[in-house]
A = this chain, B = another copy of it.
Amino acid sequence: MSSQRESFRGLSAAEFFYRNREIAGFTNPTRALYQTVRELVENSLDATETHGILPDIKVVIQLDEKDPNKVYVEVSDNGIGVPVEEIPSVFARVFYGSKYVLRQTRGIFGLGIKMTVLYSQITTGRPLYVQSSTPESPVIAEYELLINIKMNLPIILSEKLIRKRKKFHGTHVKLCIEGNWSQARRKVEEYIKRTAMITPYANITFITPEGTTIYKRSTKIMPPPPQIGKPHPYGVDTELLKHLFVGNGNQRLKDFIMENFEGVGEATAEDFLKWSKIPNKKLSSFTIEEIAKIARKLKEYPNWRRPRPTTLSPVGEKLLKKGIKSILEAEYVAAVTRKPLSYRGNPFIVEVAIAWGGKIPASDKPILYRYANKIPLLYDEGADVSRKIVDSIDWSLYKVKFPAPLVVVVHVCSTKIPFKGIGKEAIADVPELEREIENAIKEAARRLRIHLRAVERAHEILRRKITFEKYIPEVARALSIITTVDEKTLAEKMYKMMEREIEKVAAPVSVPAPTTVSVKAKQEVKR
């Protein structure tokens, strides 16, 4: 037996992620740079559109003059800002934040920005610079922060309050990390482009050593922001119940259920008690075994209402199309926003768009653009449920023959996206979600088929027309000899007749303009 004695110790959450940063996407200088941009941009978008503010975001990448492996990443926004007293913890304490509520946001873990600080601290030793102000605050706060890794607490290197001279709110963040810009560049650019595509109401200015790209908003319409919701009975567990029971010992079960869960009215609460045979006692009188039973019964009761989608903020068919058209310059786009559904008490909505032709390059299988709560997902496509579904579909049923210029956009919104990892790159194959994504893709694909059929028809007609036109002079000449009518008059009449006939055949569809098929436009804009 080995003589080494084991030594035991605890890690703070910060030390855990310091040691295992790969797990949060900070794998190497290329990936870490990508991840840093992502975390900052996502925070900025959450700080704006989640609160009904049209996003104005500036992203700056700068290389250190002496050492090009040192990269400055800077992001500023016009969001709601962070209250002064919360700034140190929000930016420099792992698992601290405002996102631990039921509402669709990009951030959920309270980890991203702290990982970027840890990473800059590890690689360049430099602090995070942050400047922020809320709309109500009379001052702008400026901080330089590091993380005390052993304790998981912020280290405040400098702190300054500046009186506001004009109305301003927002956050400005700057970091210096070790990064490989030349390798990360393509992915970062793609990330920004795909972000612009799903948020056509955002102004994004993207400044890199190579130049400036501006994605100007193509609309001022934003999806309604998500509301904070209550848990749904299907998502309840023993621990949550125990937690909610605390301080409410005198309340009775019926009132408790009505008050604390999503969409439970009095009739439903009473029916649940009858169905589950649980007495309407005071909360304090339930034993642990009984609480476990309540949790189980809450999950099993068949008559709860579906979770409401007010906590969600899908893009909507109209905006989705707008974004995709302006970025991909496709010939045709079909967009589908499905009805809300739920898995294990978590509401979700699937949106799918299919873009075809135009400037989309032909490829051997559909190009997939994945989004989760409006976050573009660029890595680990092979592990994602959507790739699996897209590959399993028989596209020939939809008149698609590969190589084809086909992009499939899948957007999943949920208060709880079933990510496969903390890096938030792939969505797991939860059955309810898988089924819904498949249905959504097929719905969009059927619209594409109608379009492709129309194109086929238009081409067919064009071919016929060319054939006719070729023979008209000859036929006219022959007829002219027989009828002694003027050859030119005959030919003109025949041309007109042909146009009329072709118009009849082509009536249901117009020849596709480089935008949409008219017959479908109405349906697609119904939202």
Contacts and interface: CB of A to CB of B under 8 A. Distances in A.
Most buried by B among A237, A289, A426: A237
A517 interface: no
Contacts of A239: 18, 121-122, 149
A110 B19 CA distance: 12
Nearest to A149: B239
Interface string A378-419: 001011000000000000000000000000000000000011
A18 B109 CA distance: 12
Interface stretch (A89-97, A354-362, A475-483, A506-514): A89-97
Contacts of A227: 4
- The majority secondary structure among interface residues of chain A is loop
Q: How many copies does the complex hold?
A: 2
Contacts of A16: 13, 95, 109-110
Interface in A1-26: 1-2, 4, 6-13, 15-16, 18-20, 22-23
Interface stretch (A47-55, A56-64, A182-190): A47-55
Given A95-B11, A123-B237, A80 B1 contact: yes
Nearest to A383: B383
A233 to B, nearest CB: 15
A9 B123 contact: no
A243 B19 CA distance: 13
Nearest to A90: B8
Given A22-B418, A22-B428, A122-B237, A6 B110 contact: no
Size range of the interface on A? 35 or more
B109 A20 contact: yes
A16 B122 CA distance: 24
A9 B100 CA distance: 8
A163 B35 CA distance: 54
A420 interface: yes
Nearest to A239: B122
Contact of A89 (B10, B86, B121): B10
A90 B8 CA distance: 8
20 contacts: A1-B80, A2-B50, A4-B227, A4-B228, A8-B83, A8-B86, A8-B97, A10-B89, A10-B95, A11-B100, A15-B95, A16-B95, A18-B239, A19-B100, A23-B419, A27-B418, A124-B238, A125-B238, A380-B420, A422-B422
Q: Give the 8 A-B CB pairs with smallest separation, nearest first.
A: A125-B292, A6-B98, A421-B421, A383-B383, A10-B96, A11-B95, A2-B51, A122-B237
